[in-house]
Every structure is written in structure tokens, then in C-alpha cells.
Chain A
Amino acid sequence: RHLSPRLTPSEGLARPPPPPTDNCPNGSFRPSHGKIVERGVVPTCVYQHSRGTIPREPSWDSVEWEGRSLLKALVKKSALCGEQVHVLGCEVSEEEFREGFDSSINNRLVYHDLFRDPLSWSKPGKALPGGPLEALRALDKRTGSGPATIALDSLSWLLHHLPCPILCQTLHALSRQDSCPGDTLPGEQVRVLGLLHEELHGPGPLGALSSLAQTEVTLSGTMGQASAHILYRRPRQRPTLQTQWFSILPDFSLELQVEPLLESQPPSDLHTPSVDPTTHLTFNLHLSKKEREAKDSLTLPFQFSSEKQQALLRPGLGQATSHIFYEPDAYDDLDQEDPDDDLDV
């Protein structure tokens, strides 16, 4: 195993604190979450990908803004359902991730540590060609039996270390696994949860990743209240969009909340119940039943009815009833022989 060995939770907690962040070879990485949260604009995007029929969808309940707590809440939910949870941790140490979970959840949780030693410098003898990529692919093999959840913390880190197409291909392979066993056992499903810091990436990688995802949760909030915009792409159906307000309790369970009343909304509601403009009028706009019948039975002059047709087809009747009264005028030209006699030709 080229990764740091799998730890039982007790071992993990007993370990010394993680090395400082400058151990991280790429200094540009590690976004400051605090700042993003302060700004209150769509800080993170939890990216979930599941395959086949959707496993029990965790209810998108309580969360704070920053997406890791939502991720942890989802991880907890999966663990409580009895699934094996694999976490690929790149941005926080194992201790930090496990903090707040009780032991039963920690037992189900397998932490693959990329944070401590991302490029395997501490084991120079091994010298793996692709650190993060190999770790991702190894996850694929590890979740062989039973339903499992893979949590990627975070996709942003992976995007910075891997080319986007390769990451997409690996994620796709991860979620579809080897199709042969999956087809025979419908219960065996792999869910991939990914955390993505939206502001760190351009529209290209975001679009590419979201086109792969089945469910996309974008976090935002107003007035201290977090909300999640959930885009759920059902296979071969219209995607659904909904907004859910929630909060996350300290033990990482979700709590649904009702939508807070925004100050901007009530005024617009007050204005809309408008007065019916037709109530106080000096003339009548409405028809009574009798009037309506009379109106409907009326044949309008431009309509072509069978009576009109009959009347037109009977020329004799028309001749008998109609006459042309004509009194010749003094200047009328009555000579039918020469119509041009007034031209002096």
C-alpha cells in the first residue's frame, strides 16, 4: 500500500498533530474558508455522484455555509446506514475530519490520508509516479463489496494536482466501477461525494464536473441562514431544482428549516393583491347568461353560414326580390355602341 496505512480510529486520534501546512508542496493551494464564508457568496459546491438507481438519498438538512460540515453530515448519514465510508482527505488532517463523530461512525470510516504526505516524500523509496491519481484509483479497488460511500475532500485539491480530463475520467470510472458485478448485484452501489470550492476554479472545470454529477448542491445563505440549491438530474428526465434551508448541529446531523421570511418579499406580496379594475365602472363589461346566448346565436356578417350559402345559390329568389332603381342623368352616356364617343376620335 503506497498510501499511509489504514488507521483504526483510536490510532488516528492518538497520533501527533499533523505537520504544518508548509509541508504541502504546492503553496498556492489551501483556500481560506473563513474568508469565503464571510463574503457569503456560494462558497462551496458539494458534488455528489451516485450510480445506477439512487441509493437512499440523505435528506439535505442542516448545514453551515462552508461545505465540509455538510460533507461530514452526509458521511455520518451514510455511516449510520451501515455503509463503509472511504474518505480521501487532502485538505484537513485525519484528526480534524474525525472530530465530532462518535466512535461507531469512526469505526466505519476509512481515512485515506493525502494531507500528511501528498507526494509520498516521506517514503522516497517507493516514488510513486502519480500520487493523488493512484490514490483515487486505489479507492476504486478498495470498495469491492457492499454499498459504499466515497467522500473526496476535496475535488478542488485534486483539480489542482491532476489534469481536469483525467480527474473526470477517474471519477466516472469510480462511480460506475466495474460494471459486471454491479449489474448482477443491484444493492451494491458506490456513492461519490465530492467537495468543490467553487470560487477557485474557472467555468470550464466547474461545467465539466457538474455535467458528470447527478446531484449538485450549491451552498449559499442570507442573514446567517444557510441554504442549499439542489440540482438533481434524474436519468432521462427533467432535472429538478429546489432550495432547502437548513442548519447543521454540532454533532453533524442535519436539521431542515423553513425558509426565513425575507424583508424584500412581503412588500411585493402586499402590492400584488390588486383591485379588480372592472368593479367600479360606469358601463357594463359582463354579460348575463341570456345576453351571452343572444350574442352566441347572432350570425356575424363576415361568417359564412349555410343559410347565406343557400341564399347565394338561389338566383331566382334574389332577382325577384331586389330591384335597381335608376334614373338616367343628363350627362349619362347611354350609347352602348361607342363607349368612346366623348373622346372625339
Chain B
Amino acid sequence: MAAAGTCGTGTRSTGSMVAAASTNNVTSFQRRGPRASGADSGCSRLVSIAGTRPSVRNGQLLVSTGLPALDQLLGGGLAVGTVLLIEEDKYNIYSPLLFKYFLAEGIVSGHALLVASAKEDPADILQKLPAPLIDDSYKKECDEDVCSHKMEPDIKMKIAWRYQLLPKMEAGPVSSSRFGHYYDISKRIPQELIETSKWHGFFLPEKISSAFNVESCSLTPGYMKLLQFIQNIIYKEGFDGSNPQKKQKNILRIGIQNLGSPLWGDDICCTENCDTSHSLTKFLYILRGLLRTSLSACIITMPTHLIQNKAVIARVTNLSDTVVGLESFIGSEKETNPLYKDYHGLIHIRQIPRLNNLIYDISDVKDLAFKLKKKLFTIERLHLPPDLSDTVSRSSKQDLAESTKLLGPGCGMTAGGKKHLDF
């Protein structure tokens, strides 16, 4: 479907150019026929969908994940019709943030939302979405952050002339042409934005209580209900493009929280070999089919650290398009590692889809870490922290060099030798 969608936008954009030209009478080329006369009525149809843009690489229609840095890592954004799977961190602190960014971006862009959860009421989730930051204020945030960093060491660094003119390394993978917004997680989204937005909530305990013992299908009843719900919304609201002429097209953003957790009635987290282990994969398969034939994008958070059978994780990864794993340092030995002291966790881009392409958009850096600041969740390249202390003993530096070897090739160049490096 996504291909059809992009073709649509392609023709639409050229059409809109023609329409604009015709109204301004700039050129002598005038298009005769019904189009010129119907320009006013067709105007809304010609405008591309808000909050989307075609990919520069393969022409796919993209939506933002709500986190410009993540968009950049995933090749510009999340393609419409695909699934983004977030592997939850151990204590499930950071993955809900990505989930909420995705939904908040939908509200700001005017997309329709479908929020499914077995744990929290979707209305509550929407209430707790972060507030969007206007671009100026985001800059201010960043500047403040940089300033506060600069204030501390007041020593001017002496740089050799050879290296003086090297471009400054961007900490985060953010390009100039972003189309998502930044969000302030310390504030909540304005109430009027939620009220004007169109959203559908699926709260499992409410849906399941009426007919609990329906076990006729091979699918777990919770999944069955959710699929029916999603399908119903897609068909009823016209996200499948069945009536393209009638109203303006819009994107449906689907968010499914904690999929696969026992609260969904799935026991892949509880036992290694269970009868219903195919339930989740079947669900994902059908869901992907639904997404491919509609103007929708889906984010799923899944507690993969709880799933006992590793084969299930591999299948789930194959069945989703984009897979991003979050690994927080809390409770792990990395928390005290000096290498990671500036960050709160690592972010792993496990899979990026190949859409209309044989290759995929690979980012140049594989070692990425995330940090949760007071207001922003940021993704940065993982750098070795400069070794400023005089008292670091040689052995601990050796340790540091050893631990850097665990990293991928991005930082590996600096840590190739066994001896430590001074900065």
C-alpha cells in the first residue's frame, strides 16, 4: 500500500504546483478543462497529508516518530504502513517515553490515534503526553544545556592548528531537514490539543470483561479483540483508502503498549514452551497486513526481556519492520562503568526495513546512547568521556580501554590498541 500512497503524494505535489501556478497566472501555460475550474474544491485533496513527507531515499511516505534524532537514525522517519517495535528496557522507564512521543507527534500533526493498552487506561495515557516545544524554545533548551556544560570547565582548550578547523562533531544524529517536533516531558500536553484530536482507545480489561471465556480461536482473546478493533477503525474511518474522493486523507497512528506481557493474556513471558506461542506472531502477521493496506503507522512496545523463548523474539523481530532496543543501565554493571557515566542507557537499532530497495538506510554510527534530561530525551553518539582526572591509575585506564573494545567499530578505532589513549 505504501507504494500506492507515495505515488499519490507524488502526483499530488505536482498537481498542487500546477494549481498554484494557475491561480497566480504567472505562466502562460494554462491547463484547460475541469481541473482549472475545480481548483477550489480540489484544493484540500491536492494538499499532502500534514505531518508526512516522502523519503528522499525511496519515496516512501514517512511520518515522524516524535523524536527527530530517532527519525534520522531510521532513515528519515517511520514509513507509513510499517511497524516500529520498541524493545522495552528492564524497568520500563524509557520505552513509554518513545511511545508517548509517537502519540504526541500524532496529536500535534493532527493524525488520528489508536491507543491500545492492557495496563493503563488510554485516556490516562493521552493525558500524560508531553507538551510540544516551539522551535525557539527548543533551541533555548539546547543552548542552556550547552552553557551549563561550558560553565563548569573554565579552561580554554589548546587545539593544534591542524585540528582547529575540523567541523565540530554533532552529538546527536539530527539533520537539518527534520520534520518532527521536540517535546518537553516535564509538562503535559495542552488539554485543548487532546480535545481537538481524534483518538480511539482500546483498554483490554474493559473489552474482555464481557465475553471472557471465548477460546474458540487459536489467537489469544485479547489479541483477537484488538485486531477486530483496529480493523473496524480502519474500515470505518476510511484509512484503507476505500473512498479516496470523499474526504481528506489522514494518517492513523496506532500505539500498542506492553504487547506480549501477561496482562494481554499471553503466556510467552511465563513459560518457555507454551501452546499459545504462535499467538503473538500470528497477531503481528495480521496486524502487518492491516497496516500495509491502510494509511497507518504502528508503534509497539514489548517486554522482550521477559520473553523466555529466544526463538519467539527472533520471529517477532522478523515480523516487525523497524526494531529498536532500549537497554538501560539501571541495575546492571554498566551503571558504574566510567565509560557510560554520561548516559542512561544504550539504544540499539536492531532492524531497519528494506522498502522498495535492496539496501537500507544505514546510519554511520552504531554506538548510540540515550540520556534523559530534565525536559528532553536525547539520543547521542556514544563517546568516550575525556580523561581529565590526574589520579586515574593506569590499571583503570586499561580497564576503560578494554571496555571500549566491547563497542562496535564506531569507537573501536580509538580503542584498538591495548595501551590507553590520552585526549
Are the chains A and B members of one assembly?
yes
A residues within 8 Å of B by Cβ? 163-169, 172-173, 179, 202-205, 207-208, 211-212, 233, 236-239, 241, 300, 302-304
- 30 pairs, CB–CB < 8 Å, chain A vs chain B: A164-B262, A164-B270, A165-B262, A165-B264, A165-B265, A165-B266, A165-B267, A168-B263, A169-B118, A172-B118, A172-B119, A172-B205, A173-B205, A202-B272, A204-B269, A204-B308, A207-B306, A208-B269, A212-B262, A233-B91, A236-B93, A236-B96, A238-B91, A239-B93, A239-B330, A239-B331, A302-B160, A302-B161, A302-B162, A303-B161
Residues in A neighbouring B119, C-beta threshold 8 A: 172
Residues in A neighbouring B159, C-beta threshold 8 A: 303
**Given A239-B93, A303-B160, also A168-B331 (CB < 8 A):** no
Residues in B neighbouring A164, C-beta threshold 8 A: 262, 267, 269-271
B303 at interface by CB-CB < 8 Å: yes
8 Å CB interface, B239-264 against A: 261-264
Q: For the complex of A and B, list the 5 residue pairs with the smallest distance between their C-beta atoms, beginning with the closest.
A: A304-B161, A164-B270, A168-B262, A302-B160, A165-B262
Chain A's closest residue to B208 (CB) is A169
- Given A166, A172, A179, A300, which contacts B158 in the complex, CB threshold below 8 Å? A300
Q: Is the CB of B269 within 8 A of A207?
A: yes
8 Å CB interface, B89-128 against A: 91-93, 96, 118-119, 121
Chain B's closest residue to A203 (CB) is B308
Chain B's closest residue to A277 (CB) is B393
Instruction: Report the number of A-B residue pairs with Cβ-Cβ less than 8 Å.
Output: 78
Q: Is the CB of B262 within 8 A of A303?
A: no
Number of B interface residues, CB 8 Å?
Answer: 31
In the assembled complex, the CB of B374 is this many whole angstroms from the nearest CB of chain A, namely: 12
B389 at interface by CB-CB < 8 Å: no
In the assembled complex, the CB of B206 is this many whole angstroms from the nearest CB of chain A, namely: 10
Q: Is the CB of B261 within 8 A of A208?
A: yes
In the assembled complex, the CB of B104 is this many whole angstroms from the nearest CB of chain A, namely: 15
Q: Is the CB of B330 within 8 A of A208?
A: no
B419 at interface by CB-CB < 8 Å: no
Residues in B neighbouring A212, C-beta threshold 8 A: 262-263
CA distance A166 to B263 in the complex (A): 8
B350 at interface by CB-CB < 8 Å: no
B198 at interface by CB-CB < 8 Å: no
Residues in A neighbouring B266, C-beta threshold 8 A: 165
- Given B93, B121, B272, B331, which contacts A204 in the complex, CB threshold below 8 Å? B272
Chain A's closest residue to B161 (CB) is A304
Residues in B neighbouring A167, C-beta threshold 8 A: 262
Residues in B neighbouring A207, C-beta threshold 8 A: 269, 305-306
In the assembled complex, the CB of B134 is this many whole angstroms from the nearest CB of chain A, namely: 24
Q: Is the CB of B91 within 8 A of A208?
A: no
9 extra A-B contacts, CB within 8 A, seeds A164-B271, A204-B272: A164-B267, A169-B263, A173-B205, A204-B270, A204-B306, A208-B269, A212-B262, A300-B158, A302-B160
Residues in A neighbouring B261, C-beta threshold 8 A: 168, 208, 211
In the assembled complex, the CB of B269 is this many whole angstroms from the nearest CB of chain A, namely: 5
B164 at interface by CB-CB < 8 Å: yes
Q: Is the CB of A239 within 8 A of B161?
A: no
Residues in B neighbouring A238, C-beta threshold 8 A: 91, 93, 330
In the assembled complex, the CB of A57 is this many whole angstroms from the nearest CB of chain B, namely: 18
Residues in B neighbouring A205, C-beta threshold 8 A: 270
Contact with A along B144-180 (1 / 0, CB 8 A): 0000000000000011111010000000000000000
In the assembled complex, the CB of B123 is this many whole angstroms from the nearest CB of chain A, namely: 10
Residues in A neighbouring B262, C-beta threshold 8 A: 164-165, 167-169, 208, 212
Q: Is the CB of A166 within 8 A of B331?
A: no
CA distance A43 to B96 in the complex (A): 33
Q: Is the CB of B164 within 8 A of A304?
A: yes
Q: Is the CB of A169 within 8 A of B265?
A: yes
Residues in A neighbouring B331, C-beta threshold 8 A: 239, 241
- Given A173, A208, A239, A300, which contacts B270 in the complex, CB threshold below 8 Å? A208
